[in-house]
Every structure is written in structure tokens, then in C-alpha cells.
Structure 1
Amino acid sequence: MARSETARASAREQARRMQAEQERKHKMQSLMLRLGVVVVAVALVAGLAFFVLTRDRDGGSFTQGPAPAAANEQGGFVLTSSTEIAEGDNLGEIDSENLPATQGEDGLPPGVGPREEGEPPHVVIYTDAGCPGCAAFESAYHGMLSQWLDAGQITLEYRSVSFVRPPYSARSANAFACMAEHGPEHYMSYLGAVTAERLNTTELSNDELAARAQNYGVDISDCLSDGEYRAFASYVNALAGEHGVGGTPTIFVNDEQVPGNEFIEQAAPMIEAAIAEYESEAGGAEEGAEGEAEGADAEGEDADAETPEGDDAEEEPAAEDSE
């Protein structure tokens, strides 16, 4: 009797273990199935995001397209005042998968280098409208940058990349290029205002980006909806990565990079130091020119002072001859 009870207990325990093992396998299969669904879903979403990011109005990809006339070869817009963009390189059609073979100096991106004698400091900013740090920088520095520009103390170049929030950053870069093409006098103000909004909102729709431009009396709605400069935005982004720019904001003052973790604290002192050097050089040149002018005046005065003596010397022999 005792053996029979023991056998039944053993059978029950074995059945319990088999059931537990089956439940464990079932849970594992369910987990793997769910993971598989998640992986597939992520792949689909990533593929869709890539498609949305790279497609253009003709269903192609954002790799080939026009560049704004004012853009330079690095995809930057150079400001000579807060309302003036310098003449660009007329890039025409660009291809973000066929980048120009340009090289910078000493490991710097092309177009970044020491200040040329007699030229104001050149500030290059790699910026991203989806970047909170860029928003903080524009909030803190936009007014000062405008003042330095309008005083002729610096030139300023923005290169818009799409590192932080790729779809939104790329759409915003397109909007900035649209403004550079259709309302260049408002480019800087528009870029600064849209970028600073990142402090208060996640992102702006194309309609909202168009509305911000309309505040300046500029209609870029078609340019935005058509993604006219999305290939150009891809081109600038690819160039930045090609030349070692890995974060935003990345700021250069002539050939010196502002420390990335101290850009709020260090940008102004570095720019002001560069301005002081430039103005000191310009002041020295002016003093030299004044000194040369004074020397020329002094020589002229000496010549005038000698003239009467010379005349007397010529007249005296004539008097003797008449005698």
C-alpha cells in the first residue's frame, strides 16, 4: 500500500515537472515570437523612416538635386552682415553620394583656417535645428553675432547638418536653404529663430516652418513641400561627416575650435579675442598710413621752404649780368 502511494506521488511529481517544462517552452516560444515581431516592426519602421527621409517628390531619393545659388562648396552660407549673404559657388546640381575631393588644412574642415591678413575673423558654425545645444547657443549668441557682423568685425558661416533628429533636422535644413534662396536678407534671423524654438518644442511641421517664414513676408511653402533642397541637406550632412564633424554645435573661430563642452562659456571670449587681434592689426595699418602721410606732408613743406632760396640764387646772377 505504501509503495503504491509512493509510486502515485512520484508519477504526480513527474507529471508536474513535465507540465512546468512545457509551460516554460511555451513561454519561451511566445517571447521569441514577440521579439521577432518587434524586430520586424523595427525594421519596417526604420525602412519607412529611411524611405520618408530620402524620397523626393518624384519618388526617388534625396541624393541628387539643386543647390541654392548662395551656397559655397561646403554647403555653407557666408554672411557679411546680418542681412547679406556673400556670393556662392553656383554649385548647380549636387550629388550627396559623389562628394568633392576637398581637403582642409591641419585636419580642419575645408574653408576653416587661419585668418588672412587684413580680413576680419571668420566664424564657422555647424548647426542642427533639432539640437538643444544649438538652440541654447542661438538663444545666447544670436544678438551678439548680428552685432559683430553689422559692425564688420566678423564674417559668419552656417553649415546646417542633420545629426540629432534626422527627419526634422533635414526638413529644417531644407527650410533654411529655401530662405537663403527666396529671402536671403532674412536667412540669419529665420535660422536663429527656428533653431531657438527647439528649447520649447520637439519639432515644427512643414506648415509651421512655412508660417515662420511668412512672418518675414517670404513664401517658401512650395519649396518645403517639394523638398527642393533636401538633397542639398544630405550633401552638407555627408560632407560634415567626411571631414570629421561629429556633433553640434561645432564652432570654429578662424582655425581654432571652440571646446564642445564649453561652447556657451568659451565662444564669446574666443570671438572677442579674434576681433581684438584683427582691430589691433587694422589700427596699426592705419597708424602706419597716417605716418607715411605726415612724412609726405613734411617733405612737401621742406620743398616749399627751399624754393625761395633757389629763386634768389637764380636772380642774383641775372642782376650781375645786367650790370
Structure 2
Amino acid sequence: MPAPNTKSAGSSRESAQQLRLDHERREKRSRLLMRWGIIGGVLAVLAVIAVVIVSSIRPDVPAAGPAPAHGNEYGGITLASPTDLAATAARTVDAEAALETRETPAGVEADAGPGPVRVVAWVDVNCVHCADFETTYSAQIKQWLDDGDVTLEYRTVAFLDRNSTSAYSSRAANALACVADTAPQAYLPFTQALFGNFPTGELSDDELSDLAEASGAGDISTCVAEGTFRPWVDFTTNAASSSGISGTPTVYIDGEPLASPADFVTGVEAAIEARGA
């Protein structure tokens, strides 16, 4: 009987094993390709969703637009009393215009000669620390304004739109500008009402309009819905950033930065006393 061809048998086993390994590699490659295809599809869907969300948050906000009545060249609105806003010239703003980078913000220095202390505050309506600041000091601020001891300029920014799915900082700042434009006597009450509402969460456009009306501003619903002063809000925000303002609240008292909100009353009283000396 002829001897078995062990060499041939071994080769067959090796070929079979190689075929099996090749098959397993192809299967593994197919599974990987399928997995990456699924991941790629999911990422594409998420990208589309992100675009839709961003588009809904900032629906065609133009770069240029009007400033509200009483809006100054720095993006601020100044209370001369609890019911009066400082007059300003009519102007338009361009949020994309190049702004000078400054170490000290423009328009914060003390006014020359006797007169009220100049307080300038950068705030964001969606900022918890700003809400705390307003809640703590609103009565004192009103008293100083009543007595003619200070002017208070709000530069309301939208730093915290990044934390909102509805661009609440921008929408609320726009609503404040709407009130300044047509109902200056309601600007302080509406400001205090907005910050007082902080614990209950973000407001819709209709709720912003209702709160403004309850604060004595009348009907601002069209201005709110159309985002009339959204370019102004962007301008104010960009001007703040170019001046080194990176957080809120940031407060200057007669040109000097306030080190801590806890020192606000002490700082303002010292400035009032210095002006009376």
C-alpha cells in the first residue's frame, strides 16, 4: 500500500486555515466599515440638527441696525433717575465693525466737575451673579437715583447665549432696548423684574412682552418678536469683549473697577463722599 502523502495533507490544512483567516478578516473589515458608516451617519444627522438649532436661535440677525432711543455710543443706556434715561443722538450700529482694543473701557471715567457719581455696569440677563447683584442692591440703587447721587449705565451683553437653546441673553437684552426706546419710565422696573424672574428660568418672547407690559412699558411685542435691536445687542457685546470685559457683573465707579460686588455700597458711598468734599 502506498504511504499517505502527509505533505499534501498538510498543505490542504494550511490552505483551509488561510481561507478561514481571510474570511474572518473580511468579516471583521465589513463589520468595521458598517460601524463607521453608522457613526458617520449619526454625526451627519447631529450636524444638521446643530445647524437647525443655531438657525432657530439666530434667525437672520443682521450685523447693522438701529440703536434704541437713549442708547449711547458705548452700547449703554443710562438712568439719570428711576424714571428718566439720558438723552442721546439717534444712531445706527454695526456689530461687525472693527473696534479698538482697550485696556480700560471707554466712557467709564468720572464726569468733570460736581455732579452725580458715574456707575457703569455690564450685565447679562441670564447671569445668576447679575441677578444676585440686582436683588441685593436694587433698593439702594433706586434710592441713589432718587437722591441724584449717581447715574447708572447698563451695558447689557449676551455672553451667555452659549448656555441657552433660545438665545435668551440676546432676546432679553433686545426687550430691554425695546423698553428704553419707547417707554423710558419703565426701564428700571423692567430691568428689576427681569432679574427678579431669574430663578424661574428663561422667558419666551410673549412672556418678555407680558413682563414689560406689567412693568409699565405698554405693548412691545412687535419689537420683541422682530428682534429690532438684536444688532445693538451684538454691538454692545462685541464692544465689551474688545474692552477686556469677560464676565458679568463688571462694575466701574467713577472710572475705577469694583473689585467685588460685595464692596458695591462701600465703593459708591466713598465716591459720593469724595464728590461732596
TM bracket, shorter-chain basis: 0.7 to 0.9
User: Are residues 1:32 and 2:36 paired?
Assistant: yes
Sort the Cα spacing of 1:120 and 1:54 in 2 relative to 1 into closer, same or farther, 3 A: same
Structure 2 residue matching 1:79: 3-state secondary structure: strand
Judge conservation of contact 2:115–2:149 (CA < 8 Å) in 1.
no
Contact 1:80 1:86 in 2 (8 A): yes
Q: Does 1:278 align with 2:269?
A: no
Change in CA separation of 1:165 and 1:152 when aligned onto 2, cut-off 3 Å: same
In structure 2, the partner of 1:296 is: none
CA deviation digits over 1:60-117, x for unaligned, max 9?
x3212211121000110011111110002321x3221125x5676xx21110124533
Q: Is the 8 A contact 1:128 1:195 kept in 2?
A: no
Q: Which amino acid aligns with 1:154?
A: V
In structure 2, list runs of 5 or more residues that go unmatched. 1-5
Higher RCO, 1 vs 2 (CA within 8 Å, ≥6 residues apart): 2
Asked if 1:269 corresponds to 2:262, the answer is no
Does the 8 Å CA contact 1:128/1:249 hold for their aligned counterparts? yes
Q: Which amino acid aligns with 1:244?
A: G
Partner of 1:156: 152
Question: Displacement, 1:276?
Answer: 2.2
Q: Is the deviation greater in 40-49 or in 64-73? A: 40-49
* CA pair 118-28 structure 1, distance change in 2 beyond 3 A: farther
Secondary structure of 1:142's aligned partner: helix
Contact 1:78 1:157 in 2 (8 A): yes
Per-residue CA deviations over 1:225-255 (Å, capped at 9, x if unaligned) read: 1111111111111211222211211111122
Map residues 37-52 of structure 1 onto 2, 5 A cutoff: 37-52=41-56
In 2, Cα distance between the equivalents of 1:35 and 1:221?
Answer: 44
Q: Aligned partners of 2:199, 2:22: CA distance in 1, in Å?
A: 58
Max radius of gyration: which structure? 1
Distance 1:170 1:16, change over 3 A: same
- Contact 1:73 1:89 survives alignment (8 Å): no
Alignment equivalent of 1:133, drawn from 129, 132, 155: 129
* 1:238 maps to amino acid: N
What TM-score do you get using the length of structure 1 for normalisation? 0.72
Is the contact between residue 130 and residue 164 of structure 1 (CA under 8 Å) also seen in structure 2? yes
Q: Does 1:242 align with 2:239?
A: no
Q: Provide the secondary structure at the position in 2 that maps to 1:125.
A: strand
Task: Give secondary structure in 1 for the equivalent of 2:159.
Answer: coil
> 1:112 touches 1:252 (CA, 8 Å); kept in 2?
yes
Distance change in 2, residues 1:15/1:184 (3 Å): same
Q: Report the counterpart of residue 207 of structure 1 in structure 2.
A: 206
**CA RMSD after TM alignment:** 2.9
Whether the 8 Å contact between 1:122 and 1:156 is mirrored in structure 2 is yes
Contact 1:96 1:231 in 2 (8 A): yes
Match of residue 111 from structure 1: 107
Per-residue deviation, residues 118-166 of structure 1 (Å, max 9, x unmatched) = 1322111111111111111111111211111111111100011111125
Identity of aligned residues (%): 33
Q: Which residue of 1 aligns with 2:3?
A: none
- How many residues are paired up? 266
3-state SS of 1:164 partner = helix
Local SS of the residue matching 1:165:
helix
TM-score by length of 2: 0.83
Shift of 1:198: 1.9
- The 3-state SS of whatever aligns with 1:272 is helix
SS, match of residue 79 in structure 2: strand
CA contact (8 A) 2:121 2:153 kept: yes
Aligned mates of 2:252, 2:30 — CA distance in 1:
59
